[in-house]
Every structure is written in C-alpha cells, then in structure tokens.
Chains A and B, each alone.
Chain A
Amino acid sequence: MGVVGRIVRITGPLVVADNMRGIQMYEMVEVGSDRLIGEVTRIQGDKAFIQVYESTSGLRPGEPVYGTGYPLSVELGPGLLTQIYDGIQRPLSKIIEASKSVFVKRGIKVHPLPRDKKWVFKPNTELKPGDKVSGGDVLGIVPETSLIEHKIMVPPNLHGTLVELAPEGEYTIEEPIAVVEAGGKKIEIKMYQRWPARKPRPFKVKLEPTEPLITGMRILDTLFPMAKGGTGAIPGGFGTGKTVTLHSLAQWSAARVVIYIGCGERGNEMTEVLLRFPKYEDPWTGKPLMERTILIANTSNMPVAAREASIYVGVTMAEYYRDMGYDVLLVADSTSRWAEALREIAGRLEEMPAEEGYPSYLASRLAEFYERAGRAITIGRPERVGSVTLVGAVSPPGGDFTEPVTSHTKRFIRVFWALDTALAYSRHYPAINWILSYSAYSDLVAYWWHEHVDPQWKEYRDEAMRILYREDELKEIVKLVGPESLSEHDKLVLEAARIIKEGFLKQNAFDPIDAFTPPEKQFKLLKMMLDFYHEARRLVDRGVPVRSIRSHVDREITELIKAKFTVPNDQLEKLDEIYERLISKLHELRGVSG
C-alpha cells in the first residue's frame, strides 16, 4: 500500500498528519487505528490536511494515517438503485447489520454494491471477439430493477480489442464478463467500475435542452418549466417548502432515474422517502418508485465533511446512468449545507475567508457542480442520448436571497423557483413566488407543449403571467386607496388572478388527486380560467359590474377552483361539464345591462 504518516493535530473534522510525502491531493486515507475514512484537502511540505468523514472524537496525535493510493471514488454497477447510502457511499442498511446498532458507528467498512448477489447478464450480440471496443460501448445488459435495464459499459478511457465476452448467465459483480486487450495487456472487465467522484465523466457532445421535464406541479410545468438536462435552484427560508417540492419532484417527475441527496438535512425526511417510495407508484410506469431511486443521506447530525462529498458521489451516479442513455434527475437538499461544510473545513484550514466566511472558491465549486448537468450524446456505441437534470435547494439565512450561496447559485442555474415566506405563512403552497421566479426554458419547451398538448399553450401561459403581474401592480394601488377606486376591468383582473392562484397555482402535495396534474389537465384548467375571464370581460364591457358577476356565479367559480382536486386525472371530461355550468350561468347576465 501507499504512504503511512502520523497524526499531529486534530481539530473537529480536520486532521493534520506529517510524514505524508508522496500523498496526492484528494487521495482517500484511513485515519487512526480505527481507520476512519478521510480525504486529503491540502498538502504542505510533507504535511497533509485531511477532512475526516467520521467523528474524530478520541483520535490522538501520533496515531497512524494510511494512504490508499486512489481518490474518493464511487462504485458504479448494478445494485445502486433502491439503495440508501451515506455521504461516502456506504449503504446505511448494511451499516445497521455490521454495527448491530441503530446509531452510525465509526470505522465501519461495507461494500457499496452487493458482492454476493447474482445478476442476469445478457451480452450484446452485436459484439464478437476481435471487435474494437472503447469507453462507453455496451457490453451487455442486466435487468437491475423492473424499471431499469442496466447497461454494462466499457469503462471510459479504455480502448482495445474484445478478447472474450461472457455468455448469458448469472454473475456477481466480481466475476469478469469480458476481457479486453489494450496496450498489450489483457484487462478483465467486471460489471462494476470505480470513478473519482470529483471528476466529471466524459460525454461526446452536449445538446440543447428542449424537452420539458414534466413534474406534475402546475406552477412549475406551466409557468416555470424545467427541461431535461437543465439546472434549477429552489431557495427559501425554513418551512417555505423546499423539501416538499423536492420530494414531489423525486416522486412525480418524468425522469427515468432519480437521485435524492439529503445533504445536511433532517433524518426523518430521509426516513419518509424510504418508507413511502417503495409503496408509491411511479406515475409514468405504475411500478414502485423505489425501483428508479437512489438515496444519499448525510443528515445534519452526521459528520460534516461527508456532506461535502455526498454531492459529488450523487452527481457521479447521475452521470453514470446518463451514460446508459437515461434521463436522470438529481435533487440535492440542501446545497447550502454543502457550502457550509466547505466553509467549516476552510475555516479549520485557516484559509482567508471571502463573504460571510465562505472560502473564495465557493462560486467555482458551485459552477463546477451545475456544469455537470446537461443533455448529451454519450460516449460509446450504440449511440445514446441521456441527460442529467440538477435541482438544488438553497437555504438562505433569514430567508435573505442576497447571501452568497443564493446569489452565486443564481449565476449558474437557468430555472429559479423562489420560495416566499409570506406565501408560506398564508399556506399558499407551493409557496413559489411567481414574480421573482423564472425559467430560461419556457420558450424552448413550448414546441413540446404545442405538439403534445395544445398549440395555444404559450399564448395561455403568457396571458396568465400577464394577469399575475398586473395583479401585483394593482395590489399596490389597492393598499393605498382601497379596492373601490379600481376600474371594473381592473377589478376583474383581481378576480381572475384570485381564481388562477386558488385554483391553479395552489397545489396540495398531499392530496391524492391534486398532488400530480398531467399536462393535459394543467392546460385545460388554465384555459377554462382564462376563457371565463374573457367571457366575463365581455360582460364588463357591456357595463355589468364585477360584483354582480361574482355574486351570480359564486358557486360555479368555487366549483372551478376545486376542480383540481375533485376531478380525477383520468376523467377530464368532467372539467367540461364544470365549465359549461359556469358559462351558461354567466350568460344569464347578458340581458341584465347594456
């Protein structure tokens, strides 16, 4: 093995060791006689500064530090899905077995992927010995879960000649399934590979994200859409709905693989996903959600350094499934805790702090992370297109969006879902502020909506936005002079905005029908609301006061507002009935005035 040094200092999660000549930056090391896992974050002479991923309590100067010779890496292969890992890819359920404790003990070594499980491997029949193969080429497939066919690929950076490909059969990941000759050496290929977590995996070309990632959340899909391969942030003070939104994304999104990183957040939130997802169905396939999900949990009370690592471990897994040609969604709750971990380690390293104590490289780390998103043509044959969509929660202190993590993140993302404490206090959920939020993809994804849902999508969407903006202005006026001073047309705008907010934007993540709205229903609801507005405006033109309209169709409007949770997603014709009732009642007012 590699370098063996000696601890000279311990302060919190940071350990300094000397005699470390030959150690590499970011090399994994084992610290102390308990062999705690750590990573080298700075080298100075023959001293190494090590962030330790487990509690350092009880360590003493003089204890040994062992180099491992390789950087912090992720094990990639069948068996990732359905797992829950800690920040450095140790399966938490295996830790329970190994430690026989409900607490996370130190120094536990467990394999990330099951070693004894046999997988059914089907070789790629296009390939035969003597063929040239290179990184990304599919050697065969393994049904990993009922949802995901795992492609066993030649590791990136390997080019050579196929010598042998295993026949169809059951193999463990330790058994070689192919032999490739490269550079005069015969290399055995197994069903898993290791990849350094901090290094992006290669791809051929990045493509423009044009397809929406449908989430079933109305305000997202219709007003501020995410695209497959896009990047987004969801900042908000505590209790504004970051976690619920990310859970909903993980649950309902039209992604093929979902990676959920609980980074420095609550234990119970991970437990909730763990207990719920195996029972819930993927809305797109009807299979248990867990079969497309990987969880990474480094909760707030777990060692802080592993929080920093968890983000990289997760995104490496995401790229790996992208390489197979899947659309992957990664959500990270919360990137602020990751940034704080950076800050804590930087502080212990006595680095010069920039804003609010964060290290000066905060922005570049955030940029590097979000840069790993994208829709791409992958390396290898057959040609595949996959995507990694990245969405990070941001937890600004005091809900103040001008703080460093929020403001830097904004530079690197294209979709901004701004949560609003005032909306959350009034229980308007999701508390996404429609004035502050934006999506750079709304024009790009319009094609998809026009083709698959309705050619008028963009028109209606833009009009809804205009009404909401106008309402915002009008509310300021009302605050100064009261509602009576508004023109009748403006009063109708307020009423239209009320209907859109109550009946469309508000969405209860815990209601069985309301939680997920398919695109067709989203469009239909919005169209009904705006068409009603148009009809009502005609009446106002003819002198009918808004007050009379409201009192005349009060019940019908309430019915329309409730349609989001009363009309099941597969009975959209019921929406037409509601609309018919509303409009015919409204038309009774035609003769009233003129």
Chain B
Amino acid sequence: MTETQYWLGVREYETIREVKGPLLIVEGVSGVSYDEIVEVELASGEKRRGRVLDVGAGIAVVQVFEGTTGITRVGTKVRFLGRPLEIPVSEDMLGRVFNGLGEPIDGGPPIVAEEKRDVNGEPLNPAARDYPEDFIQTGVSAIDGMNTLVRGQKLPLFSGSGLPHNMLAAQIARQATVPGEEAEFAVVFAAIGIKYDDALFFKKFFEETGAINKVAMFVNLADEPAMIRLVTPRVALTLAEYLAYERDMHVLVILTDMTNYCEALREISAAREEVPGRQGYPGYMYSDLATIYERAGRVKGKKGSITQMPILTMPNDDITHPIPDLTGYITEGQVVLDRGLYNRGIYPPINVLMSLSRLMKEGIGPGKTREDHAGVSNQLYAAYSRAQELRSLATIVGEESLSETDRKYLRYAEAFEKRFLSQGFYENRDIDTTLDIGWEVLSILPESELTNIKDEHIKKYHPKYKRGGTG
C-alpha cells in the first residue's frame, strides 16, 4: 500500500483496483468519508476531479467527473481531499462565465471568495420558509393570465427538441418584473450538456439586452464530460442561495437542459449496477431531483428569493416519461410547449391545458393583479377545454351539426389562440392588457356560458358593458 499523508485530511493512493465506466474502485484506503471530493492525477500529469459514492472497509468507489478515459490502473494517483465539493461564492461572480464545476473560463481574474460553500446545500427547514406570493409579470399572456409565476416559485418549461423554449426563457428573463418594485432579477444560468449554439444564444442575448452584468453563467456543453452535469446545477444553486439569502437579491435561476442531467444520473446508476426504476432511471431520481428543485423559495427574515425555471426536453414529447413526470411531481407547476401549436405558427406555443402554476392563487387578485383575474383565468380554461372537445367532435360529425353555442366555442378557440396566446418575442404585455384580451375573446361566447365569473365582474369588465359605459 502506498499512502502519502500530506496534511490532515488529504490522503493519496495509487491502488486502483478497477476502472468501470465513470467509476474508479480504489482499495486499501482508510479514513475516506462518504461524499468527499477526490483529485485524480493521471500519469500524464492531467488532473481530474471526482467524488466518493460508496465507502466500505478499505474500499472506495469514486465517480470521476471528467470521465475515466485514459486513466490507467497503474500510475494514476487518487487524492482524497477530506472535504465535500465546495465553491467560493461572491457577488463578483455576476457578470462572469464559469465551467460546470464553477471555475472561471472567461479569462477574467480568479474569484475572491467571500465564503466557501458545499455545493450539495442543505434542506431548507419548512418552518423557516415564507410562502411565495409576489406576482412576477413576465409579459407573456399565457403565463401571467393563466399560469402566473410568483417570486420564489420553481416553474419548469417542458419542451421538445426544436421547440422555442430558449426564446421563451430568454423573453421571460428579459421581461420579468415585479410591478411596483425597482429591483431587477439577478440571473444565474446553468447550461447542462447543451449545444454550443444554445449556450451562445443565451450569452449573446444577455449581452445584447445589457443584462450580462447581472448574470452568472455556468456552462457544461454537450461535448464536455457528462458526469460534471451532476454538479453543475448544484454549483449554480449554491451561488444563487448565497446571493438570495446573504446578499438580499432576487435571483432567477435557469437550468437547461435537465434531461441531460437525468441522463448522466442514469449513466452513473447503470455503472454502479443498481436496481433500475422506470426506464432504467434510478429509483432515487425523484429524491435526487428534489435536492435541486427544492432549492428555490423565500425564507423568513431574508429579503432575497430564488425563482427557478428549469428547462427540459421531453423525450418523444412524452409528458409521462420519467424525467418530466418526476419533475412535475416536485416543481410548482409546469409550462408545457406544444408541437401542434408550434407547427401552426403560434408563438409562444404554450399548451395552457397541460400547463399549471400551483402558486398562482396567492399571487393574483385585488392589490396584486386584478379582482377578476381568477374568474377570467378559470373561464378561459373551461371554455378552451370545452372548445377542444368540440373541435374533435366537429371533425367527425361536421361543424354544421353542432349547436349555435357550440360553434361559438370553436370561434372562441380560434380567437384565443390568435389573440391571447400568440404574441411577439418582443411584445411585453402588462397584466391589464392580458386580462382585457381575455375578456375580448371570452365575449365571443354567450354571457350565460360564463359560469365561472362573478356577475359583478361581468358587469364591470365584459366589453359589452364597458362599451355601453355602464362599467
């Protein structure tokens, strides 16, 4: 056994027993702790990092972030660093670009740490949380009107390959404001295994909008080692927590693409020969994802907040696939993009029926948005869903055999998609505009169909009465 003890906590071994996928099995170790961070030095002098996944008597299983290609059993040094993976955090990280492990890659100066933090974070005490309820105006009608986002919420975009989720996320990042407040969002952006083009799109976008000084980017590209993806969102959230809870900032965290994260998780699980859950993803994927998504929210006694917008592409556009499924079970709703709408040229192609904001109810209403908001939203939903049923009925029995009221529903659906849903990439609608458009499309229906809205609100906001001057 070769063991060199440098200083307290650091131990070095050259006793790799096996190299297996992204894993190293190191034997003859002692004093190694679970989850501690490892430095692997190849014979060439190249250094990689890893983490202890399993430790038993004399044996440690190490996951190497940069992969094990080129690692030889003999001649490779494995150093156990005696601490969990930590990153330095500082306000100066805004405006900078980092790799997936949190190291600067923009040629700028090294980060002078205000503090070092374990990237795994710790679970927020539920009794210390404050309920998110500040309305964020994104300027996008389908979101503000029907799936309202609030500050401290985790609301993912469920998309499909080739759909404009990047545009939508960028539009939201640019337009998001809390009406009546000056403070803008700081953005923490984590690129997880995405293509260079996509990363460039965001970088350019942040530069062009002048937002770049309020953005910290963590970038792990598609051609970079997959195991790093398991760390990247955690590194990003570690900075976000620091900014939110120590520096009083409102932080918007964009994580894209969480599908790549889950693929990496599946890979490591397969390498460890674990009993797989559904479709080969590990049984603990729910818990693992929760340790990412639950790092959002507001905390009592702290001014800042973390709002998360993870993006994921649903394999085969299938919302029941384990990745969107487990995500939806954890996040506070989802915004679902729809290929059908996209193919019909509708932007943003948000499928409102499948979308949901669970925190909407606390963020809307008098004093926050408008008194008629809940009713209008419920009615838009109910009517659109009725219209969708009628649309498929009409394709079978023909539109003529529908009743007059039913035909009005079909016209409503058209108007809803063209007027309410569709808007420009640069179009920033305030909430009044959004709700007024809602009324406009609802007024296509007979008034007696508006069973979800209070009469007093109909009298006040329905275009018929408004125009008549009685409102």
Contact = CB atoms under 8 A, between A and B. Distances in A.
B275 A357 contact: yes
Contacts of B454: 566
Interface stretch (A10-18, A380-388, A524-532): A10-18
Contact of B125 (A9, A96, A262, A481): A96
A483 interface: yes
Given A102-B128, A102-B302, A266-B332, A344 B57 contact: no
B129 A271 contact: yes
Contact of B299 (A102, A270, A558): A102
A157 interface: no
Interface string A79-110: 00000100000001101100001111100000
Contacts of A61: 30, 32, 55-57
A268 B283 CA distance: 24
B334 A60 contact: no
Interface string B27-64: 00011111110000000000000000111110000000
B451 A558 contact: yes
Contact of A275 (B131, B276, B284): B131
Interface stretch (A113-121, A209-217, A309-317, A391-399): A391-399
Contacts of A589: none
A561 interface: yes
A473 interface: no
Interface string A257-290: 0000010101110111011000000000000000
A425 B125 contact: no
A397 B54 contact: no
Contact of B245 (A102, A104, A484, A554): A102
B448 interface: yes
Contacts of A398: 278, 320-322, 325
B330 A11 contact: no
A80 to B, nearest CB: 16
B401 interface: yes
B451 A562 contact: yes
A9 B320 CA distance: 36
A478 interface: yes
Contact of A57 (B56, B84, B290, B356): B84
B125 A300 contact: no
A45 interface: no
A238 interface: yes
Given A300-B286, A301-B294, A482-B393, A60 B33 contact: yes
A240 B3 CA distance: 56
Interface stretch (B71-79, B341-349, B377-385): B377-385
A540 B277 CA distance: 57
Contact of A426 (B299, B382, B397): B382
Interface stretch (B116-124, B175-183, B202-210): B116-124
Given A58-B35, A344-B283, A427-B381, A11 B54 contact: yes
A202 to B, nearest CB: 33
A62 B126 contact: no
B283 A58 contact: no
Interface in B273-300: 274-278, 283-284, 286-287, 290-291, 294-295, 297, 299-300
A326 to B, nearest CB: 25
Contacts of B290: 264, 299-301
Contacts of A510: 361, 374
Interface string A497-512: 0000010000010100
Nearest to B386: A426
Interface string B251-291: 00000000000000000000000111110000110110011
A152 interface: no
A553 to B, nearest CB: 10
B131 A558 contact: no
Interface in B399-424: 401-403
A555 interface: yes
A297 interface: yes
B333 interface: yes
B353 interface: yes
Contacts of B131: 268, 271-272, 275
A12 B51 CA distance: 13
A479 B396 contact: yes
A344 B290 CA distance: 15
A12 B32 contact: no
Contacts of A304: 284, 287
A356 interface: yes
Contacts of B274: 347
A102 B278 CA distance: 35
B33 A96 contact: no
B277 A502 contact: no
A105 B393 CA distance: 57
Given A103-B123, A426-B353, A301 B31 contact: no
Given A9-B57, A502-B451, A425 B277 contact: no
A292 interface: no
Contacts of A301: 123-124, 287, 290-291, 294-295
A275 to B, nearest CB: 5
B328 interface: yes
A93 B283 CA distance: 31
B354 interface: yes
Contacts of B57: 8-9, 61
Contacts of A274: 126-127
A104 B382 contact: no
Given A239-B328, A482-B401, A353 B275 contact: yes
A63 B396 CA distance: 71
B145 interface: no
Contacts of A270: 126-127, 129
Contact of B385 (A8, A101, A427, A562): A427
Interface string A322-360: 000000000000000100100110010000010011000
A96 B127 contact: yes
B100 interface: no
Closest 3 CB pairs of A and B: A482-B397, A426-B385, A398-B320
Given A58-B33, A566-B454, 19 more contacts: A8-B56, A11-B34, A57-B34, A57-B84, A61-B32, A84-B126, A101-B122, A103-B125, A104-B122, A104-B124, A105-B122, A239-B328, A267-B297, A268-B131, A271-B127, A304-B284, A398-B320, A427-B378, A483-B393
17 contacts: A9-B54, A11-B55, A56-B34, A56-B35, A60-B55, A102-B301, A104-B123, A237-B328, A297-B127, A340-B283, A344-B284, A395-B329, A479-B393, A482-B397, A483-B401, A510-B361, A554-B448
